[in-house]
Amino acid sequence: MLTACADSTSDQATTTSGDPRAMQVAAIWRADLDSLASRVEQLDSALAAMSSPASIAQARAVFVDARRAFKHAELGLEYYAATSTREMNGPALPEVEENDGPEAVFAPTGFQVIEEGLFGDEPLAERDALVQETRTLRQILARVQTLMRTQVVTDDRVWDAIKLEIARIVSLGITGFDSPVAGLSLAEADDALEGVARSLTPYRTSASAWGTLDSALTDARVMLRTTTDRESFDHFTFIVDHANPLARAVRAVRTSLGIGTPIERRAFRMDAVTLFDSAAFDLLAFAPLDAKMATAAQVELGRRLFHDTRLSGDDRRACSTCHLPEKAFTDGLKVNRSRGGAPLARNTPTVINSGLQLGVFSDLRTTYLEDQVTDVVENVDEMHGSLDAIALSLGRDSSLAAQFRMAFFDEPARGDTMVSAARIRTALAAYQRSLTRLDSPVDQALRGNVAVLNDSARIGFNVFVGKGKCATCHFLPLTNGTVPPFYQKSDVEVLGTPVQAVTRRATVDPDVGRYRLSRAAPHKYAFRTPSIRNVALTAPYMHNGVYQTLEQVVDFYNRGGGAGIGITLDNQTLPPDPLNLSATEQRALVVFMRALTDTAGTQRR
């Protein structure tokens, strides 16, 4: 957890008084927080008084006002009280604290829980629970108010928080991530931009750059007010013509004011402007703390090792035996075979962009690519090797030993050789991180070159973000499940994936996923949300390879996942309601996913 985003003030230890204008912003945040507390108190009363359709409508109106107040304050809350903010506005799903054992499952709290009950079919039946939930929310708010009273704030942090809020609006806000039932996401994105506008107030000058920023902010808010219907909203145009220009205008004003950026490592680079910049992400933020930027020699060594069968116990299998460069580092099979010939449990995933996620494998059983190397090489069903033994063997190859010396020339030898298990892990991880590709036609279009996407792909993008709700799990722009904009947590989802590609009386695949490791009930049948980049090249799909085509995958989601094909799971996290996508929308969605292809320069063996 980044210190700037934790519920503490430790990141400000070197500044005891803060910057004057920043402290004015902090006062604005505190006032917004007080307003939020007042609205939640009103919500408490409105929920307790619910007894008729009219009083339900009144409670819903008060809820909307409370959510608006939350969005005004969100910018500062997410930056300085991220843990408590998740309690206030996290998904309405149980939270598993795996370090505390399988029974450490905590009920969700906050606005989304209240929204689910209040805007559901029987709010009166939920009244007592809603009142209790609102009182819990008031307790959380009181804690945050205490924290924010003494929070020291600096200019660079204010402007960093503004940048992150714009990224949050694009990646979570307009997608409906935190308003899944009431459908308030567009109006709430406007309210979040109101919070941005308020935070900018103390910095106003007569500089010309402010005119551009004011116009960009006004234009973005005007578009958000054109409709409350996410299904008809043009998300593509909002991002390209409004959100990205706004982010650039914010950067220009900050630069004109001479305000720098905080010095720390973060996945969304401190010097990046938008999430869609070509160099928006820092790969080392997804790596171990002691990882260093890989050299070209280390990457080349890793590439050679990736294709070396000596990494397996019997010298017959290399990484590229299953991860074929010409198939976007998959194998085209439903599942591959173990060394003994039996089917493996899961479909072979691509390793392209595998360095842009927190957590590896379908069950997230390792955190970093370096650990993935150990797991695969020493897995009895896959390569059944020993990294220490492999290092001894490779050290006897004079050519390879020389390549290790070149790759790690600035490090001391270990014993009488440069070849070691740790360096094998480092080189292979470096090669995989070098396979990062974020220049698909979709990326180019989102950076402004809109001509590279045809109308069908643009429609598909809007289905992906809007009606299809895909982007609430496959977060833009990476399209995996590592949550923006801090990218410090990867989500797992329960979809109800079937054993066979049928649409009636289906049976859930017996692989229990993350549950095998955590033994926590919410994780039964839960799997990591993979990136859908290059998905046109990586068939078949799902963790078990059950679907041969993207059309089948879209049909599965359109039916409501497992719930729509006869599978009953109490813990399915995918909304079970049909999406009701038209045939045209389904085709467009596939066209969009095919436009996420970028494997340039990855296929050399």
pLDDT digits (tens, 9 = 90+) for 191-221: 999 999 999 999 999 888 999 999 999 999 9
CA-nearest of 270, 603, 282, 266 to 433 is 282
CA distance 9 to 24: 17
pLDDT tens column, 573-603? 999 999 999 999 999 999 999 999 999 999 8
Asked if pLDDT for residue 143 goes beyond 60, the answer is yes
Q: What are the structural domains, with CATH classification, of the chain?
A: 3-264 (1.20.1420.20), 286-434 (1.10.760.10), 451-594 (1.10.760.10)
Residues with Cβ within 8 Å of 204's Cβ and at least 6 positions away in sequence, in order, are 210
State which H helix or E strand residue 566 sits in. none
CA distance 94 to 96: 6
Asked if pLDDT for residue 249 goes beyond 70, the answer is yes
Q: How far is CA 174 from the centre of its chain?
A: 15
- pLDDT given for residue 416 in this prediction: 63
Asked if pLDDT for residue 2 goes beyond 90, the answer is no
CA distance 39 to 70: 9
pLDDT tens column, 266-319? 999 999 999 999 999 999 999 999 999 999 999 999 999 999 999 999 999 999
User: Model-level pTM greater than 0.85?
Assistant: yes
Asked if pLDDT for residue 101 goes beyond 90, the answer is no
